[in-house]
Structure 1
Amino acid sequence: MSAQNTLNIKTAQDIDKPELSIDADVVIVGSGAGGAINAYELARQGKKVVVLEAGPYVPSSKFSEMMAVAMGTLYQDEGGQSNTHGDISVLQGACVGGSTVVNAALCFRTPEYYLDLWAREFGLDNLTPELMSSYFDKVEKNLSIDKNGPQETSIGAHLISNGLKQLGIREGVAYRNIRDCALTGFCFAGCKTDRKQSMLVTYLPWACNHGAEIYADTRVTRINTQNGRATGVEAQVIDPKTKTVKSNVKVNAPIVVLAAGPVQTPIILMQSGIANSSGQVGKNFACHPTLSITAMFDRHVDDFHGATHSLYVDTHVLPEEGGYLLLNAVQDPVEASFQAEPGTGAPYVAYMEKYRNSIRLITLIHDQNVGEIRFKDGVKEIIYEVDDKDFEIMKEGLKYNARILFAAGAEYLYLPTSDRTLIKSVEEIDSVIDQLKNEPARYRYVSFHPQGSCRMGADPTKTVVNPYGETHDVKQLYIADASLLPTSIGYNPSETVYALASYIADQIAKANFS
C-alpha cells in the first residue's frame, strides 16, 4: 500500500481556523528518522501521538527526479543552508520524512570504537555493543537494510573497484535501506517508486495506522514547561505560498520528543529558553565535511545509473588510522556542475560537455566538534570552519582518493577548489595537494551529516541530554535526532540515529507507560 493512502496528514491547505488547540499523549517535533521512529513506537503503545513537521508534504508521486527542482521543494532553505562563510553546504531534508527522503540510503552500524569512546568519556555505559546490536538488528529488518547486489553497482564504482584491486586496497560494499532498487540514481531528489525505505513509506504510515496524526507546514516556536516538566508546544502553520501565518497551534502533551535535526533542535531550545544549564545547547557541532574529486576519462562512462553509493573505502576511517572515509557516488548534471571549478564561458561548456566521461570519489572526514549553532534576532547561524588539523586529514584523504582514481584509469582530475586546479598525473598528486591551504571559501565542501549540537552524556554540566534521551533540565522532554551524538563518527550516521531513536522510544515507554 502506498504512503499516500495511509498517512493521516493535514497541510496548511487543510487548516482554516486561526487558532488550533490539540490534546495528545505525545507531541513529536520533526518527522525525519528520530521523529518518525518515535511516532510509530509510541503510537503502537496505544498513545495519541501528534507529529509536527515544518516542511511540506510532498508525496512520492510528485517527486520530479530533478535535483534542481528537489532542492527547492525538499531541502532546508531550498538547498541553500550553509555555514556563515558560505563554503560548506549543509544539506538537510525539509519535508515530511525529513532527510531520509533525500539521503543516499547508505547505512553503517556505529563502530564499537565510538561506543567504547562514548562510554569512557561521556558516561554512556548503557549503549553497549550488545544492546546496540539488538537495535541495529531491529531497524535493519524494518528498513530492509542489506548489502548491495552486483547488479546494483554503478559503472563508476566498477572502475574504482578495479583501481582498488590494482593498489591492493580493501573495498567495502555498501549497505542501503532499499527494497528492489530501480537503479535510477535519483536518491538525492527523492525516490519516486517508493523503493528507498524512507520514513515517508515506512515508519510514518505505520504510525498513522496506529492513530498518529501528522501536521505538515507547521513550525514549532516554543516548548512549554511547568515546574521543570514539558507540557507541550506552540507552533505556527505557515502557508507555503504566501509564507504568512495561517494558524497558531498549541499542542498540550505531557511528553515532548524533539527531533527537528541538529540545526533546528538547538534553535527551538534557545527560542524556548530551556534545557541549557550546561551552556552546551548548540555547541559541539560537527558535520563530516566532504570534498569530491572529479575524474575525467577518455571515453563515455555514463556514471549516473545504479546505486547512489556502491562502495566505500574505510581503511583509514578511525582517527588513529587517518580519520577519513572514501565513497563513490553517481551524480546528475546539476551536481557535476558545482563539484569543480573549470572556469566560465568556453572552459565551463567544455567541462560539462565531458560530463558523460566523468566519475567522482568523495573524501569524508571525521571532523572535530568545533562548530556552533546560534540564533539571534530571528537569524540562524551555523558557525563552523574546517579545523586546521582536520584540513590536513582532508589533504591526506584527497591524495589517497587521487591515487585510486588514476589507478582506475582517469586521464586527469579536477580538485574541488574555487579556482581551476587540475592534477594531470600520479606524479603531481603530492605536489599539487601539498600546496592547498586551509582558507575560507576556497573549497566546494558539502555536508549531509550535521550532528552533535545537543550532546548526550551522564554529566549534566557538560551535556544536554541524559543517557536515556531525556534532557537533564526538563523532565519528559526527549531529544531523538543526530544532535545527540557526542562525537563525529566518521561514517554516515543514519543507522546510528535509527537505532538510538528506537532505544529512546523504549526508554520513554518504560518511564511513562509501564
Structure 2
Amino acid sequence: MAKNINVKVAKQGLKVTQASDIAQDKLHLKADAVIVGSGAGGAIAAFELARAGKKVIVLEAGPYIPSEKFSEMLAVAMGTLYQDHGGQSNMNGDIAILQGACVGGSTVVNAALCFRTPDYYLKLWGKQFGLTNLNMAAMTPYFEKVERNLNIKTVGSSETSPGALLIGPGMKKLGFPEGRARRNIKDCALTGSCFSGCASDRKQSMLVTYLPWAVAHGAIIYADTRVTQVLAEGNKASGVLAEVIDPATGKKKADVRIDAPIVVLAAGPIQTPLLLQKSKLANSSGQVGKNFACHPTLSVTAEFPFEVNDFHGATHSLYMDKHTLPEKGGYLLLNAIQEPVEASFQAEPGTGKPYVAYMSGYKNTIRLISLIHDKNVGEVRWENGQKQIHYTVDNDDFEAMKKGLITTARILFAAGARKLYLPSSNKAEIESAAQVESVIGALKNEPARYKYTSFHPQGTCRMGRDAKTTVVNPYGETHDVKNLYVADASLLPTSIGYNPSETVYALASYISDRIVKAHA
C-alpha cells in the first residue's frame, strides 16, 4: 500500500452491495456525493472525497467479480468483465471498442500500461482550449502521487516477455529507440493475463487500491446498479435515478433514487455522454457525445522458425514512440503478449486445415501493435433507444496507420520473422522484408476490411474554457450544471497518442481536489 494512504483494508475481497443483497423494490438514499462508475476516475474521486469526510455512494452498472473468481481466460473474461460481453463496436462493426464493465472498470482488464501526459498535449490544450491550468508544473505532483499510490514502475528485465526480447534487437538493428514500459504492477506474477483480470491481485487496479481505500473511509459501493438519469434543480445537480438489475435474469430488481448535492460522472467516454443525453443536461454547446476518438490499433502477427512461447511476462514490455506526435507520423508501437483467443481472430489464415495449421504454430508467433493518434472525428449517440458509436478511421489517420504498419513489419523481419500476417478480413501475408513497402503501401482505407481493436475511447465531453465549444470547464465541472462533474477520459480535448490511463488518474485526482475545495 502506498505510504500516504493511511487506512486499513480487508486482506481479500471488497465490501460491495450487489443485486442479490437487495430485498426491497425501492431505495431512497442520501449522500454528500454520488459517483457514477467505479473505474479509473470514479474510484479515485470516491477515495479523495471520502477521505475529505464526505458521505460517498459509488454506483457501478457492472457486476462485482472478486479476483479469486477470475479465470485468466479471455473468452470467459469477455463474458463477465467487459462491456457488451466484449461485443461493443462502432456502427460498421470493424472496431472492437473494449471497456471494462465491472467493479473497478477498465482498470481490471487493461494491460496496466502507464504514460504521463506528454507536455506537447498539455501545451496544445492550453493554447487551443484555454486549459492553461493543466500545465506540466501543476500536473507533475498529481502524476507523482498516482505513481506512488499505484506502484507505477518500469518493467524489469525479469518481467520482459520472450517476444519483447526478440523485438528489442530488431528495433536496435534499424536504429529505433526502445522504450521500456511503465506499469501499475506490484511483484508481477508474469501470467500474461492482464486482459482477463489479475487473479493474484498484483495489478494495482482500482479493485485492489482506491476502491478499498474509499470503503475504509466510509464510501458505499453498489454494483449491478445502472444510472438512468442525472437530476438537477435549477442549474445545480441534485442526485441520480438508477435501477438495480439482477445479472442472472437481466430484469429490474429495484428502483433507486439518490439525493446528493455533488454528482461525479465517471462511467467512461461512451456511457457518460449517453447518460447526459438521456438526462437532457449539460449540452447547450451541442458537444456532448461529439469529438470521439479511440486510438484504433492493428496487430501484425509474426511467425518465427522456432518456438517463442510468448505467453508469459509483462503484457507490454516495450514501446517505440519516435513517430508518435501527429506531425512525426502519429503512431505508437507496442509489443504485446497474444493470448490464444486473440491470436485466433487477429489474422485471417483461412478455415479448416489452414486455420488449424496457423493455430498449431501459435507458439512460434509474436505480435507488435501499431496504435494511431486519431482525430476526434466520431460521435456517440443515444438514438432509437440504443447506443450508437459513429466512427470510422479517416483517410489521413489510415495513412498514419500504414506508416506504423510498415515500421512494424520492418522491425519484425529485422527480429528474425519468416512470415507476417496482417490483421485483415481478407487473407494478407508478407513473406519477406522486400515486400513490406509494396504490400502495405497498396492497402486501401476500406470499411470492415481490417480487424481494429480499441482500448482507449476518449473525448466525448471535451474539457475547455469556452462554454460554446466544450462541455466541461477547466476544473471538471460542466459549464451548464453546477456541482455536476466529469472525471473520466471523456474530458480529453484531443487524442493523446499514448495509453490514457495515467492521464485519467491524474486528472481525476486534480478534479477531486477542486471538488473538495469548492465544497469544504
TM-score surpassing 0.5?
Answer: yes
Q: Deviations over 1:343-365 (max 9, x none)?
A: 11111111101000000000000
Amino acid of the structure 2 residue aligned with 1:110: T
**What amino acid is aligned across from residue 304 of structure 1 in structure 2?**
F
1:6 Cα deviation from its structure 2 partner: 6.1
Amino acid aligned to 2:259? N
Normalising by structure 1, we get a TM-score of 0.99
Asked if the contact 2:192–2:315 (Cα under 8 Å) also holds between the matched residues in 1, the reply is yes
Report the number of matched residues.
513
Amino acid at match of 1:88: I
Contact 1:8–1:212 (CA under 8 A) maintained in structure 2: no
Alignment of structure 1 residues 429-444 onto 2, 5 Å: 429-444=436-451
Is the 8 Å Cα contact of residues 9 and 216 (structure 2) preserved in structure 1? Answer: no
1:451 corresponds to which of 458, 462, 474: 458
Look up the match of 1:105. Answer: 112
Residues in 1 aligned to 2:207 and 2:373: alpha-carbon distance in whole angstroms: 29
Q: Does residue 7 of structure 1 match 2:14?
A: yes
Q: Which residue in 2 is equivalent to 1:155?
A: 162
* Map 1:162-173 → 2, pairs under 5 A: 162-173=169-180
Give 2:480's aligned amino acid: D
Alignment of 1:301-340 (within 5 A): 301-340=308-347
Instruction: Report the alpha carbon displacement of residue 434 of structure 1 after superposing the two structures with TM.
Output: 1.2
Matched, 1:177 2:177: no
Distance in structure 2 (CA, Å) of the matches to 1:453 and 1:111? 20
Match of 1:228 in 2: 235
Whether 1:41 aligns to 2:78 is no
Which residue, out of 405, 410, 414, partners 2:417?
Answer: 410
Q: Identity over aligned residues, as a percent?
A: 69
Distance (Å, rounded) in 2 between the aligned partners of 1:268 and 1:461: 20
- Equivalent residue letter for 1:280: Q
- CA RMSD in angstroms comes to 0.8
Q: Does 1:207 align with 2:214?
A: yes
Following the alignment from structure 2 to structure 1, what is the Cα–Cα distance between the partners of residues 374 and 11? Answer: 39
Contact kept, 8 Å, 1:282 with 1:372, in 2: the verdict is: yes
Q: Which moved more, 1:502-511 or 1:161-170?
A: 161-170
Partner of 1:144: 151
Read off the aligned partner of 1:105 and give its amino acid letter: A
Post-superposition offset of 1:155: 0.4
User: Out of 393, 401, 407, which is 1:394 matched to?
Assistant: 401
| Dislocated runs of 4+, deviation >4 Å | 1-6
What corresponds to 1:419 in structure 2?
426
- Which of the numbers 237, 250, 253 marks the counterpart of 2:257? 250
Which stretch shifts more, 92-101 or 8-17? 8-17
Give the secondary-structure state (helix, strand or coil) at the position aligned to 1:284.
strand
Q: How many Å apart are 1:493 and its aligned residue? A: 0.1
State how far apart, in whole Å, the 2-side matches of 1:145 and 1:358 are: 29
1:378 offset after TM fit, Å? 1.7
Equivalent position to 2:487, from 475, 480, 490: 480
Counterpart secondary structure, 2:264 = strand
Q: Does 1:288 align with 2:295?
A: yes
Query: In the aligned structure 1, how far is the partner of 2:335 from the partner of 2:80?
Result: 26
TM-fit CA distance, 1:2 = 7.2
Contact 2:239 2:257 (8 Å CA) reproduced: yes
Quote how far apart the aligned CAs of 1:119 are.
0.1
Match of 1:59 in 2: 66
Match of 2:355 in 1: 348
Q: Is contact 2:237-2:484 (8 Å) kept?
A: yes
Aligned residue identity for 2:72: E
Contact 1:456 1:484 in 2 (8 A): yes
State how far apart, in whole Å, the 2-side matches of 1:94 and 1:169 are. 37
TM-score (norm 2): 0.98
| Partner residue in 2 for 1:362 | 369
Structure 2: distance between partners of 1:358 and 1:59? 32
Q: Deviations over 1:197-237 (max 9, x none)?
A: 00000000000000000000000000000010000000000
**Which residue in 1 is equivalent to 2:3?**
none
Look up the equivalent residue of 1:371 and give its one-letter code.
Answer: G
Equivalent of 2:284 in 270, 277, 300: 277
Instruction: Specify the alignment match of 1:461 in structure 2.
Output: 468
Alignment partners' CA distance in 1, 2:12 and 2:362: 40
Of 180, 192, 204 in structure 1, the residue corresponding to residue 199 of structure 2 is 192
Letter of the 1:368 partner, please give it: K
Question: Structure 1: which amino acid aligns with 2:337?
Answer: V
Deviation string for 1:246-280 (max 9, x for gaps)?
00000000000000000000000011000000000
* Alpha-carbon distance in structure 2 between the residues aligned to 1:318 and 1:266: 27
Is the 2:14–2:66 Cα contact (8 Å) retained in structure 1?
no
SS at match of 1:9: coil
Give the Cα–Cα distance (whole angstroms) in 2 for the partners of residues 188 and 6 of structure 1: 20
Q: Which moved more, 1:7-16 or 1:259-268?
A: 7-16
The corresponding residue for 2:138 is: 131
Distance 1:187 1:288 in 2: 19
Q: Is the 8 A contact 1:256 1:478 kept in 2?
A: yes
Q: 1:167, CA displacement in angstroms?
A: 1.1
Supply the distance in 2 between the matched residues of 1:50 and 1:265 (Cα, whole angstroms). Answer: 17
Unaligned runs of 5+ in 2: 1-7
Contact persistence 2:475–2:511 (CA under 8 A): yes
Which of 30, 35, 50 is residue 28 of structure 1 equivalent to? Answer: 35
